[in-house]
Amino acid sequence: MNAADAWRVQVTRTFERDFGKLDSSVQRRIGAYLVDVSGLPDPRLRGKALTGTRRGHWRYRVGDSRIIVTLDDGALVILALAVAKRSEAY
């Protein structure tokens, strides 16, 4: 995989709002995690596919937080939809 094939991370306003409410140390961990996942050849190597009403979405676990994303294979985009503590994410 070369740099041109790297996945890009995009975020929604909901994600930005949720992210802003988190402690700065948690923000750093989540940011670093998303950068790490975007460097993988396939971000599905980490995380878990969701089912039910969230079918088609993926979740990444970062400590007690969960990042909900969709993956666009055509554009190589990881779209971060929301971030929340586990008890509030689902």
pLDDT tens series, the chain, 90 aa: 555 578 999 999 999 999 999 999 999 999 999 999 999 999 999 999 999 999 999 999 999 999 999 999 999 999 999 999 877 776
pLDDT at residue 85, rounded to an integer: 86
pLDDT at residue 33, rounded to an integer: 98
CB atoms within 10 A of CB 59: 18
Sheet containing 65-72: which strands, arranged edge to edge?
8-11, 77-85, 65-72, 58-62, 48-49
CATH numbers and ranges of domains, the chain: 3-89 (3.30.2310.20)
pLDDT at residue 9, rounded to an integer: 97
